[in-house]
Structure 1
């Protein structure tokens, strides 16, 4: 579904009427208030919490994509450009297997490993277009080294690199509206982890599996899977690279707990993550998936926004994150700026500040921000609230780049 115009509120009203549900009935089934649903339908409130989206989609018996729309293709080449490489990623993931490569050509493995490191840097910059140019070929060639390895050591190095390549594919594919391909990348990583038989590599694959689980009515399953994976890592924390992997699993468990309104569970897993972060350097460039004390602080902001925090509370949490540390991994800092903007947008007295945070995020990572369904929804609602005196021009510019009516 390519949807460039309809708002989430309009889609919600259409789907609710299609299912012949009243506002009261749908609100009861989704566990939200009638007034909240009514404001969403009128474009006065953003439907930007993961738990709300999942609950409403489940109650309507539709997918999240049906509810929030997408992919959203605009005339802006920065926003729409990354979509051009989705077909190549699909081919690479669907035509290769660990026992049968789809091509017989591959560069030497050291050259491929250098390219994997380059994609890691591109991921840090949220450069989806450059990732899309490089990643399909890397995935193809790694499968050649796995299916017909020169020796076992080469195969293991290629399998480990494939897990990383799949990790780099997951976030862009999810943001671009292709959760099926993101899940396929996670499945391929899991297959590689099984062959390796290494608990740290299997933990990395578990992280991807949890990240790509369907959300409609399954946040409780996501929580359970993340908790189980984190528990499996506990006996192996002394092994090289294990602590950051376990840390990322605990952060995912915290977000999932917040999404099922288990605030005690979210707080527990955040404490676990903070304790693990003390065991590694607070340098997001040094640890797997940027796990660090600074990253725990960034996730804390995201989890607070998921819990429904607004205004000053969100700003206070963001203020505890050291900007110099966060900027070492720009994609993570952008995530925090966007989350702060979303939190500020929920409160009338702080909406004018939200625009500045969202624009900063867009300037730093335009491809990511312009393709984020949650940010798109916030911008659409802010625009609908007609904040002309406090940034209407900025909002209209962002809306145009996202393909929103403005």
Structure 2
């Protein structure tokens, strides 16, 4: 029954709709026939972004059609943040720098402090989704009618950061189109500022919202942005923004399966991280040595690693450092769990990593399409003796039939 919830089921339906055989699709997507067969039967998770992009391109459909849209359940922790998406969409699309939606706003220092709290993940998704539309509205008021040029620039810079929160909240909840709109609005504010660091922030958001299928273009955008910002790095913030751009380049290279280039950009990120405090909770984008270690795990999972390789990388992550960013911490744990779930021998261990991830940021994990795909696939392969009860509990909370 849970099989109908996997990407593999949609994959099989789309393949047949296109009139393609397994051999034909495997050849065009550059994956093995056995992988496709297992995916369609729900015993192999399709959770690597490079696989999703390649399959969607071969089938000539959007990645959203293959992955499926936002999935709502009766669980308020999972479904609650979605209720504010219409308000966030209105705030992102209706406001302009000459005609804000709101007619009044709180003092700018209060708004900038609120923006900082949102981006440091002090709020969960439900609170972010509730606060963010109002925050964006009010920042537009301040940017539209500032007391002076300094206040205008502060308001514009705060809007870049508010759009950052909007980008990743929308992306986490499955609204790729809205995440892209937020990234475009951040770019608009950065252009108005004419500032290299804020442009770097906006470029980072753009990279993360480009379709995975645009592999080489996405990589070119990330590398160009990093190279453009590098001459302007003169302080901690600029180093942190540059660091996140190098990580975006590493991710883009991994998606393009250019693993040597990805290793180069990871090494660049490590070198930059040595120049800033190792404080993920305070740094922009959580950039720090601890977060670079987290990214090494994420990219290894995307490459298809599992078992000892993944556990060795995970052992180098200082969880006490990243605990200040619960969303990032939970994603790290989930990445390890997803990788371990690929091997029957580490299935029970994978389950424990996923449950830990859920305990830290349930709002994020229960909305993760990658975790959902992994859990659905694990249910196909596991039995009650392999810890099925806890796994079925997680599936229930995610709305996966079990």
Asked if Structure 1 and Structure 2 have the same fold, meaning a TM-score greater than 0.5 normalized by the shorter chain, the answer is: yes
Q: Could you tell me how far apart the structure 2 residues matched to 1:387 and 1:293 are?
A: 39
Match of 1:341 among 324, 337, 353: 337
Q: Could you tell me how far apart the structure 2 residues matched to 1:275 and 1:398 are?
A: 39
Q: Which residue of 1 aligns with 2:16?
A: 17
Q: Any gaps of 5 or more consecutive residues in structure 2?
A: none
Q: Which residue of 1 aligns with 2:109?
A: 110
Q: How does 1:252-267 map to 2 (within 5 A)?
A: 252-267=248-263
Q: Which residue of 2 aligns with 1:281?
A: 277
Give, in angstroms, the shift of residue 326 of structure 1: 1.9
Q: Which residue of 2 aligns with 1:372?
A: 368
Q: Could you tell me how far apart the structure 1 residues matched to 2:283 and 2:112 are?
A: 17
Q: What is the TM-score of this pair, normalised by structure 1? A: 0.96
Q: Check the 8 A contact 1:5/1:403 in 2, yes or no.
A: no
The range that moved more, 136-145 or 96-105, is 96-105
Q: Does 2:142 align with 1:149?
A: no
Q: Which residue of 1 aligns with 2:189?
A: 192
Q: Which residue of 1 aligns with 2:75?
A: 76
Partner-residue secondary structure (3-state), 2:348: helix
Q: Does 2:204 align with 1:207?
A: yes
Q: Which residue of 2 aligns with 1:94?
A: 93
The 3 A distance-change label for structure 1 pair 263 and 283 is same
Q: Could you tell me how far apart the structure 2 residues matched to 1:319 and 1:96 are?
A: 46
Give, in angstroms, the shift of residue 391 of structure 1: 1.7
Q: Which residue of 2 aligns with 1:50?
A: 49
The Cα offsets for residues 102-130 of structure 1, whole Å up to 9 and x where unpaired, read as: 22121111221222123134x256x1101
Match of 1:227 among 216, 223, 236: 223
Q: Could you tell me how far apart the structure 2 residues matched to 1:210 and 1:97 are?
A: 23
Q: What is the TM-score of this pair, normalised by structure 2? A: 0.97
Q: Does 2:177 align with 1:180?
A: yes
Give, in angstroms, the shift of residue 4 of structure 1: 11
Q: Which residue of 2 aligns with 1:32?
A: 31
Q: Check the 8 A contact 1:4/1:72 in 2, yes or no.
A: no
Q: Which runs of 4+ in 1 moved over 2 A?
A: 3-7
Give, in angstroms, the shift of residue 305 of structure 1: 0.6
Q: Check the 8 A contact 2:281/2:322 in 1, yes or no.
A: no
Q: Could you tell me how far apart the structure 2 residues matched to 1:178 and 1:199 are?
A: 28
Q: Which residue of 1 aligns with 2:381?
A: 385
Q: How does 1:348-363 map to 2 (within 5 A)?
A: 348-363=344-359
Match of 1:166 among 163, 167, 173: 163
Q: Check the 8 A contact 1:186/1:205 in 2, yes or no.
A: yes
Partner-residue secondary structure (3-state), 1:241: helix
Partner-residue secondary structure (3-state), 1:102: coil
Match of 2:316 among 309, 314, 320: 320
Q: Could you tell me how far apart the structure 2 residues matched to 1:285 and 1:400 are?
A: 32
Q: Could you tell me how far apart the structure 1 residues matched to 2:93 and 2:385 are?
A: 50
* CA RMSD of superposed structures (Å): 1.4
Partner-residue secondary structure (3-state), 2:158: helix
The Cα offsets for residues 18-61 of structure 1, whole Å up to 9 and x where unpaired, read as: 11111110111111011100000000100000100011011111
Q: Check the 8 A contact 2:338/2:371 in 1, yes or no.
A: yes
Partner-residue secondary structure (3-state), 2:103: coil
